[in-house]
Amino acid sequence: MTSTDPDWWRGAVIYQVYPRSFQDSDGDGIGDLRGVTARLDHIASLGVDAIWVSPFFKSPMADMGYDVSDYRDVDPMFGTIADFDALLAGAHARGMKVIIDQVLSHSSDQHAWFRESRRDRTNPKADWYVWADPKPDGTAPNNWLSIFGGPAWEWDGTRMQYYMHSFLASQPDFNFHNPEVCDALLDIMRFWLDRGVDGFRLDACNHYFHDAALRDNPPAPRAAGHDVPDTNPYGFQEHLYDKTQPENLPFLQRIRALLDEYPGSVAVGEVGDGDRSPATVGLYTGGGDKLHFCYTFDLFGSDFAPAMFRTTVEKFDEATRDGWVCWALSNHDVPRHATRFARKGDDPARIARMALAILIALRGAICLYQGEELALPEAEIAFEDLRDPYGIRFWPAFKGRDGCRTPMPWTDGEHGGFSTATPWLPVPPEHRARAVEVQEADRRSVLHFYREALAFRRNSRALQSGDLDFIETDEDFLAFTRRHGREQLLCLYNFSREPRDWPLPADFVTAFVERCSAPGITTNRKTIRMPALGWAFLRRL
């Protein structure tokens, strides 16, 4: 049975399933909902609290399901509503909650609402999307840019106006300034809550409202952080007016009020807001009347260093006094962290173990992306095999997102046991060598370490919800304590590629927690000897 604790989400571990790449049940080369249901035992064996299922709604698949044409139905590619209900029941029977993606900032241009909206300027849904007249010279209404490249405006020759799209031109943005739009989208969420889902991952939730005056964005300071690589001109602007508007807060409060009608249901928002992300997360999760927690891009870089982790955590701690963060190292939009964090000569399995040892010790919820429990590296995809419109647009400077979306390898056989047909993306040989079946047979594998580490977190109130305090140390070490009541843990990480000694605080025992600490650690009364890329958890006397 699933937890009845309304605060279950605070220290939760969430497992992201990308259905297209998880398991194919019908031999068409594409994963589906029945495939996910068939593999629920694997997810449950990790000891997670919930699964987040990426979009499975009806869609022309221009952006792999993040362009929804019917929010209340399952795309035939993935199965049927009955298949979703079976997945939901199967997860609940195994004690796991189910969170589904809600892509509310935009729809597909094939959605019935947009087809009606573009017909003329007087129809009942004429104002459901962001339409604007051209400038006198015929150019776009302002300088806003699409994340997927080029202007955020597309000319429509039927209405003789431009419409706004923050992503692909086939993903028009809703006009949240229209109350009818907000009501309709909340009704969609109620539909899924009534079916029994336990919450929502809100895609691009700071993109809901735009500046009603359509003011131009200013140039971005070149030293500022950006949501996307500098190969994309989107990063050249400071996005003051096309997203993260103050009108968003009352709508988030309406979402929370809806969820409060369904005790235990939650909303986790995706926030990509550059340097403003901590402040935005603080606004969106503060006060207990908006989102429960937020998911950010701040650990999705390639910097695997103590200063990065400490600086990031401290920024969010300062900005989210009574809010909550969901930490993640990988997802369906970024290269896998076993590759991102590794230097030349590093063992991806070692990187994966150490990264998880950090993740389980952070204050907040945590999210795992399918395949990271196998230490899968980023797949190299040939240009002719690309499916991601983002990758195709920016190739070769940016290779897109297909490298992290390849099918889950279950066996070392043909297609990794994912499908009996040729998969929609290839399964690399190095992934098949790390397949679930292979790692199940090896007690020293990353898969078994994931189970042990998540059990360690689950059995520790300090790691789930305790206070976190950093300890000053040198640049090669990350050290902090987690404290809840009488339980106090010292979490210590050596980022050096050489063994290092670290002085032990007098009030911590010299015996480390062997089950989750790295092998090769030795201690005496005064120091702990840490192996290269090593970690240790120590209990206070």
- Domains identified in the chain and CATH numbers: 13-105+176-210+245-457 (3.20.20.80), 466-540 (2.60.40.1180)
Predicted structure pTM score:
0.96
Mean pLDDT, residues 375-397 taken together: 90
Q: Are 241 and 217 in contact (CB under 8 A)?
A: yes
Confidence (pLDDT) at 507 = 76
Percent over 70 (pLDDT), the chain: 97
Q: pLDDT per residue over 313-358, tens digit each?
A: 999 999 998 899 999 999 999 999 999 999 999 999 999 999 999 9
Which one, of 96, 226, 225, 118, lies nearest residue 165 by Cα? 118
Q: Are 53 and 36 in contact (CB under 8 A)?
A: yes
- List the catalytic residue out of 261, 384, 472, 507: 261
Q: pLDDT per residue over 73-102, tens digit each?
A: 999 999 999 999 999 999 999 999 999 999
Q: Is 314 a catalytic residue?
A: no
Examine the pLDDT at 515 and tell me if it is beyond 80.
no
Q: Place 236 in a pLDDT band, splitting at 50, 70 and 90.
A: very high
**How far from the centroid of its chain's Cα atoms is residue 439's Cα?**
25
Residue 138, by phi and psi: left (phi above 0), alpha (psi -120 to 50) or beta? left
Q: Are 406 and 19 in contact (CB under 8 A)?
A: no
Confidence (pLDDT) at 511 = 63
Whether the CA torsion 402, 403, 405, 406 is positive or negative: it is: positive
Q: Is 203 a catalytic residue?
A: yes
Confidence (pLDDT) at 526 = 87
- List the catalytic residue out of 101, 203, 270, 402: 203
Examine the pLDDT at 26 and tell me if it is beyond 50.
yes
Residues counted in the chain: 541
Long-range pairs, 249-254, Cβ under 8 A, ≥24: 249/283, 249/284, 249/290, 251/176, 251/182, 251/208, 251/209, 252/205, 252/284, 252/290, 252/291, 253/289, 253/290, 254/182, 254/186
Examine the pLDDT at 525 and tell me if it is beyond 90.
no
Examine the pLDDT at 226 and tell me if it is beyond 70.
no
Mean pLDDT, residues 166-173 taken together: 98
